């Protein structure tokens, strides 16, 4: 007998959420099927609200969402039984050791006490806190507290883990360690939704991405397909009075263009167009190219393109640039 196909990780069906009468999520629609889905967007875009809605903390005002094929409106207990959740903010119980806290969270997820204790030890050893598991959590560093939150999210053996800003505030070494653990988790068969404002973190371990902007879906993209497209991504720094004409010329060559701050431009070269053509166009339009760098990463360009149009149809290039540069300062 053929194996039944797995349901989509997440299906959004006109999902709307209002808080205190204010719309926060507005008609989200789309289907996500990846093993690791990155949830991106500037601060205030609605990422955490979406996660809280999937967990049942906020009821939909209209539409619905399906998690692993189950409706958040009518099948919430079944959804929660299959989820693990790592919140952005610390939520441990004061005075408790890591092993006691993780055991308690596993019991709340439905495991018997003895099994919950065994799984707590296993989870803490897996995240690298085996030697420190009997210490009180308030004595932990920020990186260790993040690892405790990851351990409690996986101790009960969920099918899907929601991670809200798991690398927030971590130093580079701790951040790389967290990303390795997320990749290992996905490799073991657990599906992941990773919410972050750091593009590099999402790019390093996601195969699909959804970008939110002002409570709406800005884009959904298959990163695996983008990586295999073998397109060239350039960043140019321009000088001259005719930059707008130069950008129009790039579009005429079939290039995708996204403007950054300080006269910088992201360009995607189509097949058959080389860098030489850009220099020729710049000379023709009287524009000086001060700097040109190349990258194979497509996520930054996807994000910029998604942010291009702001509310009410106004240009969002400045906001997009600020979001990118903020991510870079935070460790992109």
Residues 298-308 have a mean pLDDT of 74
Domain boundary among 225, 240, 258: 225
CB 56 within 8 A of CB 92: no
Range of the domain at 251: 227-329
Q: Find the CATH number of the domain harbouring 50.
A: 3.40.50.300
- Of 265 and 228, which is predicted with more confidence? 265
Q: What is the DSSP letter of 142?
A: H
Report the pLDDT value the prediction gives residue 260, as an integer from 0 to 100: 77
Residue 4 domain flag? no
Tens digits of per-residue pLDDT, 256-265?
Answer: 887 777 778 8
CB atoms within 10 A of CB 37: 23
Among candidate residues 194, 199, 172, the one with its CA nearest the CA of residue 183: 194
Q: Which residues of 193-219 are buried (b: 16+ CB within 10 A; e: fewer)?
A: bbbbbbbbbbbbbbbbbbbbbbbbbbb
Q: Is the pLDDT of residue 308 over 60?
A: yes
CB 137 within 8 A of CB 96: yes
Tens digits of per-residue pLDDT, 79-94?
Answer: 999 999 999 988 888 8
Are both 36 and 149 inside the same structural domain? yes
Are both 106 and 36 inside the same structural domain? yes
Domain boundary among 184, 205, 225: 225
Are both 182 and 296 inside the same structural domain? no
Q: How many structural domains comprise the chain?
A: 2
Report the pLDDT value the prediction gives residue 324, as an integer from 0 to 100: 45
Q: How far is CA 265 from the centre of its chain?
A: 24
Are both 168 and 20 inside the same structural domain? yes
Are both 107 and 189 inside the same structural domain? yes
Residue 180 domain flag? yes
Are both 78 and 216 inside the same structural domain? yes
Are both 217 and 248 inside the same structural domain? no
Report the pLDDT value the prediction gives residue 77, as an integer from 0 to 100: 93
What span, in angstroms and rounded, lies between the C-alpha atoms of 209 and 206? 7
Give me the phi and psi of 41, to 5 degrees please. 160, 155
Tens digits of per-residue pLDDT, 18-67?
Answer: 999 899 999 999 999 999 999 998 888 999 999 999 999 999 999 999 99
Domain boundary among 225, 256, 289: 225
């Amino acid at each position: 007998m053929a194996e039944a196909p797995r349901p989509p990780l997440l299906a959004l069906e006109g999902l709307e959420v209002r808080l205190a009468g204010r719309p926060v999520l507005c008609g989200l629609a789309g289907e996500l099927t990846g093993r690791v889905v990155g949830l991106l967007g500037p601060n205030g875009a609605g990422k955490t609200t979406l996660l809280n809605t999937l967990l049942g903390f906020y009821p939909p005002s209209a539409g619905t969402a399906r998690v692993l094929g189950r409706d958040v409106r009518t099948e919430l207990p079944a959804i929660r039984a299959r989820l693990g959740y790592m919140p952005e903010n610390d939520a441990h119980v004061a005075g408790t050791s890591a092993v006691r806290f993780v055991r308690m969270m596993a019991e709340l997820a439905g495991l018997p006490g003895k099994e919950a204790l065994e799984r707590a030890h296993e989870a803490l050893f897996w995240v690298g806190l085996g030697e420190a598991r009997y210490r009180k959590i308030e004595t932990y560093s920020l990186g260790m507290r993040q690892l405790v939150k990851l351990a409690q999210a996986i101790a009960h053996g969920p099918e899907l883990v929601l991670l809200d800003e798991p690398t927030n505030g971590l130093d580079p070494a701790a951040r790389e360690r967290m990303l390795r653990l997320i990749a290992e988790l996905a490799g073991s068969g657990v599906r992941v939704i990773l919410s972050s404002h750091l593009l590099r973190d999402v790019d390093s371990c996601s195969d699909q991405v959804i970008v939110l902007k002002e409570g709406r879906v800005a884009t959904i993209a298959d990163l695996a397909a983008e990586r295999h497209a073998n397109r060239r991504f350039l960043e140019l720094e321009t000088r001259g009075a005719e930059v707008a004409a130069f950008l129009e010329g790039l579009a005429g060559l079939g290039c995708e263009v996204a403007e950054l701050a300080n006269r910088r431009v992201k360009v995607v070269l189509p097949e058959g167009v080389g860098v030489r053509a850009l220099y020729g166009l710049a000379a023709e339009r009287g524009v000086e190219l001060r700097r040109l760098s190349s990258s194979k990463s497509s996520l930054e360009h996807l994000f910029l393109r998604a942010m291009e149009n702001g509310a009410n149809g106004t240009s969002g290039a400045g906001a997009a640039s600020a979001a990118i540069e903020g991510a870079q300062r935070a460790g992109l």
